[in-house]
Structure 1
């Protein structure tokens, strides 16, 4: 029997998801190639341990991540799973891989290109269904619809998505082909703009709400709570520093952490150590304390990493740790923290 994990309702979608979800970018050869069997066994381990949310994308390994998830699901046909994938890019098997642009070290030998049109959305979903071996997908997110991905073309691309991808997903939701739709971005302002201009069920927001900083709480998270939109968080370790600690070369938002961030992380870690709690454990549990947050997705490249993440979730943290962080002005007064476990 799988270990019991807390289950939460993903906003108005009604989907029940585990508090920790499996983020599948790493099994698409994000930083380094992963052996096929190791990748599949990692997914199977997550399912066996009670993880019910799996988040992937055609971008992840240019389709390889979805292929590997499909293989894992065929090994565990009875597993309870909520599948999330994305649209906004279409794989092109007739063009060579452009992973030098997308940043993947391996993956399938296909190009992936932005396309937020109706035709691109349908083609992307068809490809995903085939790779995953499914006849429906629970949650579909419009991927990287933000200025950081599109630069000066963002406004035009946003308009294209509002005319193409969004009404297409709304129609598919009505037909029951998908159960819910939303957006997956790294920018809280982009998430808020999407929510105000469409009728989404959920948002996956990466890196904008963490123990280190909480800019998403300014306007986006209150808006999500008001509209009962489910929120999934990614990047809860700010790309590294909250997992490794403020060591030499620690990463913050995918670059080397600046001195002010190192200092803040060091202060937080010192309080965690006083309570014999790792910085990583505190960072993971902190973000789940916000009432709008249904789940967090964590990447893993091995079964051991999955098990360590679940242990971090279950570790008991005294309320005094959060009180001490607030007393040192490291958690603002308006930010909720978890109830003591």
Structure 2
């Protein structure tokens, strides 16, 4: 599988490179990244053929958007695809401290959830200014969901459905200000709800359809494939546990998850395949999936991801994982190398 193989969002005609770059690390997720290093990551992605870049106001409290825009501004605008997100407004706050919400060196702006019509429109305009661009290609509604918001979920969902949030993103698409709309979330269930509430084109699903977990397969991904809704895979390493760390869903992994990953890793080792290569390639086999967007702390890590993504993998790997009950037998698997 090649990094720069284009895959189309069926409803919009936007072509994404099969491997994209998630830009949370440009905002200093967990570890500080300097301006020069951030620029080097984007430049390395470009040299590898990556042409899809995903960011958000929340990443580094706007730092990622600033850095990504600066790195791409000299490139021809029609030569790449950028997505960003709405759902938070960033307001000045001198009380922001290093390490807040996992951002090593966030800018002095604090996020405030706002999924209303006015909030979406303001967020979109603010993002254009930070990126220094006249448009974004894909606009996602960010971090909506019952797990994310708890008892406040219904309040925010009503902002989207009754308060005009979905109407705002639809209007932006219809007038040509954005090319496609969708959700960028960690919860597959809310994507299923959104399909019934708004005519979305795509969804960025982080950590919910991976080598480790496929609960979203029949309820969501198969449905999206039938309806022409593209899926972008975020968090293919499930916050790091499929890449050698003990983190899962941004926290220390529980024992049952560690045991399952160890079993998957043992199968990979027996057939001589890096666990990370299997994790990056597995979700790409589903017909709804259009791109996979791992992040990278530095250019070397990015280049390693690209090597794993393109590494030929034997059919015996997937057969063994299915036989041991480690992968859903109904899940599509990559073709034999």
Partner of residue 310, structure 2:
314
Counterpart contact for 1:21–1:298, Cα < 8 Å: yes
Pair 1:42–1:92, CA change in 2 (3 A): same
Map residues 1-341 of structure 1 onto 2, 5 A cutoff: 5-77=4-76, 80-93=79-92, 96-97=95-96, 102-162=101-161, 163-244=163-244, 250-341=246-337
| Structure 2 SS opposite 1:44 | helix
3-state SS, counterpart of residue 107 of structure 1: coil
Seen in structure 2, the aligned counterparts of structure 1 residues 191 and 330 have a Cα distance that, compared at 3 Å, is: same
Determine if contact 2:32/2:104 at 8 Å carries over to the other structure: yes
Q: Quick check: 217-226 or 126-135, which moved more?
A: 217-226
> What do the CA deviations read for 1:48-99 (whole angstroms, capped 9, x no partner)?
2111110000000111100001110134346721100000011113664377
SS state of the match for residue 298, structure 1? coil
Task: Determine if contact 2:99/2:105 at 8 Å carries over to the other structure.
Answer: no
CA RMSD of aligned residues (A): 1.7
Q: Alignment partner of 1:113: what SS?
A: strand
How many Å apart are 1:186 and its aligned residue?
Answer: 0.6
TM-score of the two chains, using structure 1 as the length reference: 0.94
Separation in 2, partners of 1:25, 1:251: 16
Q: Using the alignment, how far apart are the partners of 1:236 and 1:324 within structure 2?
A: 20
Equivalent residues of 2:3, 2:17 under 8 A apart: no
Structure 1 segments, 4+ long, off by >4 Å, are: 98-101
Distance 1:4 1:288, change over 3 A: closer
1:91-114 C-alpha deviation (Å, 9 max, x unpaired): 113664377653312121111211
- Rounded to whole Å, the distance in 2 between the matches of 1:72 and 1:64 is 12
Runs of 5+ consecutive residues of structure 1 not aligned to the other structure: none
C-alpha distance in 1 between matches for 2:261 and 2:216: 19
Is the CA contact 2:3–2:19 (under 8 Å) kept in the aligned structure 1?
Answer: no
CA contact (8 A) 1:30 1:103 kept: yes
Distance of aligned partners of 1:181 and 1:78 in 2 relative to their CA distance in 1, 3 Å threshold:
closer
- What stretches of structure 2 of length at least 5 have no aligned partner? none
Taking the aligned partners of 1:185 and 1:319, their CA distance within structure 2 comes to 31
Query: Structure 1 residues 106 and 187, CA, compared in 2 at 3 Å: closer, same or farther?
Result: same
Asked whether the 8 Å contact 2:116–2:164 carries over to 1, the reply is yes
Contact 2:242 2:261 in 1 (8 A): yes
Q: Does the 8 Å CA contact 2:41/2:298 hold for their aligned counterparts? A: yes
**Contact 1:13–1:230 (CA<8 Å) still a contact in 2?**
no
Q: Report the Cα offset of residue 24 of structure 1.
A: 0.6
Preserved CA contact (<8 Å) 1:53 1:83: yes
Deviates more, 1:4-13 or 1:171-180: 4-13
Q: Provide the TM-score with structure 2 as the length reference.
A: 0.95
